[in-house]
Amino acid sequence: MAGSQQAPLTENQRALLAFARSTARRILTGLDTPVARPSIDGRYGGAFVTFWRGKRLRGCVGTLAPTSDIVTTIEEVTANSLKDSRFQSAPVDAAELKSLTIEISLLSDPTPTNSPLSLTPGVHGIVVRLGNKSGCFLPQVASERGWSAETFLRQCCTTKAGLEQDAWKLPDAEALLFTAEVFDDNHSNH
C-alpha cells in the first residue's frame, strides 16, 4: 500500500489514476461509455493496479512488461485486477468501487541479478523463476511486512512461485530485480 508519506501527485499520475477509476467504473457498471484516454509518454517495464478497502486488499494484478503504451497497459491490468482470482467469491462491485483506493505501480524493466540478497527491501521488487514456475512481489510488500531480503526471496518462492523456500539459491534459478513508482488516489493511510 502506498503510505501517508506519498509526495504530491504529478499530472501524469493523476491522469492514470482517474483513467483506472473510470475504466473500473465502466467495467463494473456494464455501461459501454467511452473512457477518455490520457496522453502519456514514457517508458515503463510494466504496471500493477491494486484495489484497497482500508488495509484490506481487494484485487491486485499486473504485468512485468507493457502490453503496448502505458495507458493501454493500465486499462488491461485494471480489468484483470477486478477479476483477481483470490476474490472470486466476493468480487469488487460498482457500489464498492467508490470506497476503494486505487494504487498504481509503474515498474522499471526487471534486471537479472547474480546477487539476489543485494536487493533492498522496500526499494526492489523481485521475480524468481525456476523451470516453468515463477513468482513476483512488488517492492512495497517487503516494507509492509517488515521482511528482510532473504525472507522476501523465500516468501516469493513459496507463496508466489510454488517452489521450495530456498529455490532462489539453486543454480538454475533466475532472480530479477526491479523498482516501482507507486502512487494512489487516497493520501490517507490504508
Shared domain for 133 and 93, answered yes or no, is: no
Q: What is the pLDDT of residues 56-114, one digit of tens each?
A: 999 999 999 887 889 999 999 999 999 999 999 999 999 999 999 999 999 999 999 99
pLDDT of residue 63: 94
Q: Give the span between the Cα atoms of 81 and 78, in whole angstroms.
A: 5
Report if residue 3 sits inside a domain.
no
pLDDT of residue 3: 44
pLDDT of residue 6: 64
Output phi, psi for 101, to 5 deg.
Answer: -95, 135
Q: What is the pLDDT of residues 164-185, one digit of tens each?
A: 999 999 999 999 999 999 999 9
Shared domain for 88 and 165, answered yes or no, is: no
pLDDT higher than threshold 60 for residue 2: no
Shared domain for 89 and 157, answered yes or no, is: no
In the numeric block, the cell 530456498 is attached to 166
How distant, in Å, are the alpha carbons of 17, 28, 85, 114, 161 from that of 103? 8, 18, 18, 31, 23
Do residues 69 and 126 lie in contact, with contact meaning Cβ atoms separated by under 8 Å? no
What is the residue-averaged pLDDT of the chain? 91
Do residues 140 and 119 lie in contact, with contact meaning Cβ atoms separated by under 8 Å? no
Report if residue 142 sits inside a domain.
yes
State which residues form the domain around 162.
111-178
CA atoms within 13 A on the CB side of 98: 3
User: Mean per-residue pLDDT for 143-171?
Assistant: 96
Shared domain for 100 and 116, answered yes or no, is: no
pTM of the model: 0.89
Do residues 10 and 25 lie in contact, with contact meaning Cβ atoms separated by under 8 Å? no
- Our count of domains for the chain comes to 2
User: Mean per-residue pLDDT for 45-65?
Assistant: 94
